[in-house]
Amino acid sequence: MEWIDHLFAWVSPAIEGDYPHLFELYRYLHANPELSGEEEKTAMRLAAELESAGFQVTSNVGGHGVVALYRNGDGPTIMVRADMDALPVREATLLPYASTVRGRDSEGREVDLMHACGHDIHTTVLVGTARMLMQCRDGWRGTVLLIGQPAEETGKGAERMIKDGLFSRFPRPDSILALHVAPPLPAGMVAYSDGYAMAGCASLELRIRGVGGHGSRPHETKDPVVLAAETVLLLQTVISREIDPMETAVLTVGSIHGGSRSNIIPDDVLLELNYRYFKEKVDRQIRSAIERIAKGAAIASGVPEDRMPLLTTIMTGPPVLNDSRLTSRLSALFSRILGEENVQKVPPMSASDDFSHFGLEEPAIPLFYFFLGASDREKIRKCTKDDISSPGIHNPFFAPAAEPTIRTGVEAMTCAVLDLLAVSEDLLLPETGEIVV
């Protein structure tokens, strides 16, 4: 019997046996979301889980980052990353374990919190994978590095962990894996992209400055509200008129704030911009178009030289690029474990993930990022019939089908890690369903 057949026969019932433990963890994480950079309790719980599974755990790596290490003889080093942060969204799912937690955002405003991006699933899958790998540790050789990453939603966490010595204080990985829930896909399925998986991303603040004054005397002012309105419209021409239609890019002005009363012309207006791209050239083109348009519109409005707009970069992240060798190897593996009908090849997404930072270190470490189906099949069927989309991530109604999602995630991730480790031909597996962790 090939080791892989042996593994397939063992892994699914073993995960089923461990599911009550994982579901209890998932309920806790889901009911206790924490904002980006504040994942204190989540990180503590994750560290405790990984430690009790037998990993050597280091906490507070780049903020609340958790790094769990298990050395098991000679072989490759495989890293798996899960993100841990939640969002300022008021949960509307009515699940028995729905979040009622409130917190404060970076501006000090009180906000409702929810795991609306499914990072609670990712963290649970990481723990499930740890427990499975320890169950069959006599059958593989190598080093496993599992990380709980903070602040993915703000695009800062991966970079901070790297700066805090992720690749120098711990063994340098040969491959890095991650997954993300994908609600349009039924639970039980996975999907992957060959090449680019997620777009590159930049968030910018554009402060449009004018000269304020009385609303009844606009001729004595340089009105930044009108200038902001013009700038927003001009920015809509960047993608539609300047970027090659064969390229993929998107630019959104997501927030506009300025002024205090109807009869006061303010001094400035703040725009928050976000754009996505795949190619470096397109990134440069969009960035320089934003600078040119902001300045050009200000000049055209007669804004004084010393009141030109200020552009500040809040966050940037390159696209997630899947390594071709890992992609073909692991997508074939997924087809064998889950069945070909449960593995989909999908085009790149316009969403982003700061997971891409892990691939920037020279020499580049191969990455593989895949999508995990998370919705109830019946719900998807009904939504398709009614021609509506089922609630996706960042939506207050997002309610993943926990059991099939977590089980498929643990199965896919465990098998992927084992496939990349050095596995002996006679993989030693414990009795089916016997969980001793």
Among the listed ranges 22-30, 73-81, 111-119, 163-171, the one in contact with Zn ion (CB under 5 A) is 111-119
- Rounded-to-10 torsion of CA 42, 48, 49, 53: 160
**What is d(CA 351, CA 155) in angstroms, rounded to the nearest whole number?**
12
Applying CB under 5 A, the site for Zn ion has a residue count of 1
Q: Which range, of 112-120, 227-235, 251-259, 310-318, touches Zn ion by CB under 5 A?
A: 112-120
Site residues for Zn ion, 261-290, by CB under 5 A, read none
Q: Which stretch binds Zn ion (CB under 5 A): 113-121, 162-170, 255-263, 304-312?
A: 113-121
Minimum Å distance from CB 94 to Zn ion? 22
Compute the least distance from the CB of residue 158 to Zn ion, in Å: 12
Instruction: Give the number of other Cβ atoms within 10 Å of residue 112's Cβ.
Output: 17
At residue 326, the 3 state secondary structure works out as helix
Angstrom distance (rounded) from CA 271 to CA 259:
12
- Minimum distance from CB of 296 to Zn ion (Å)? 34
Q: Which of 252, 160, 177, 247 is nearest to 410 (CA)?
A: 177
Q: Which is nearer to Zn ion, 117 or 199 (CB)?
A: 117
Reduced to 3 states (helix: H, G, I; strand: E, B; else coil), residue 214 is: strand
CA atoms within 13 A on the CB side of 319: 24
Question: Closer to Zn ion at the Cβ: 117 or 427?
Answer: 117
CB of 29 to Zn ion, least distance (A): 14
Closer of 42 and 143 to Zn ion (Cβ): 42
Query: Which candidate, 121, 106, 128, 135, places its Cα nearest to that of 42?
Result: 121
- Which residue's Cβ has the minimum distance to Zn ion? 117
Strand partners, 149: 83
Least distance between Zn ion and beta carbon 393 (Å): 6
Alpha-carbon separation of residue 247 from 155, 192, 242, 251 (angstroms): 24, 20, 11, 13
As a whole number of angstroms, the distance between CA 253 and CA 258 comes to 14
Report the run of H or E that residue 48 belongs to, with start and end.
helix 40-52
Q: Kindly tell me which of 117 and 147 has the beta carbon lying closer to Zn ion.
A: 117
Query: Which residue, 277 or 398, has its beta carbon nearer to Zn ion?
Result: 398
* Torsion of Cα atoms, 278 then 281 then 283 then 285, to 10°: -140
Chain CA centroid to CA 380, Å: 23
Residues 356-415 that bind Zn ion (CB under 5 A): none
* Site pattern 33..52 for Zn ion (x: CB under 5 A): --------------------
CB nearer to Zn ion: pick between 82 and 117: 117
| Segment contacting Zn ion by CB under 5 A, of 115-123, 240-248, 314-322, 327-335 | 115-123
117/132 with CB nearer Zn ion: 117
Quick one: 18 or 85, whose CB is closer to Zn ion? 85
**Residues 326, 358 contacting (CB under 8 angstroms):** no
Pairing type for strands 264-265 and 343-345 reads: unpaired
For residue 254, the one-letter residue type is G
The CB-of-153 to Zn ion minimum distance in angstroms stands at 5
- Cβ of residue 36: shortest distance to Zn ion, in angstroms? 10
Task: Pick between residue 157 and residue 173 the one whose CB is nearest to Zn ion.
Answer: 157
Return the range that interacts with Zn ion (CB under 5 A); candidates 30-38, 110-118, 235-243, 366-374: 110-118
Q: Residue 199: name the closest of 97, 310, 12, 349 by CA.
A: 349
Minimum gap (Å) between residue 312 Cβ and Zn ion: 22
For Zn ion, the closer CB: 117 or 178? 117
How far out from the chain centre does Cα 2 lie?
35
> Judged by CB under 5 A, does residue 117 bind Zn ion?
yes
| CB of 180 vs Zn ion, minimal distance in Å | 6
312 three-class SS: strand
| Residue 119 beta carbon to Zn ion: minimum distance, rounded to whole angstroms | 6
Per CB under 5 A, residues contacting Zn ion are 117
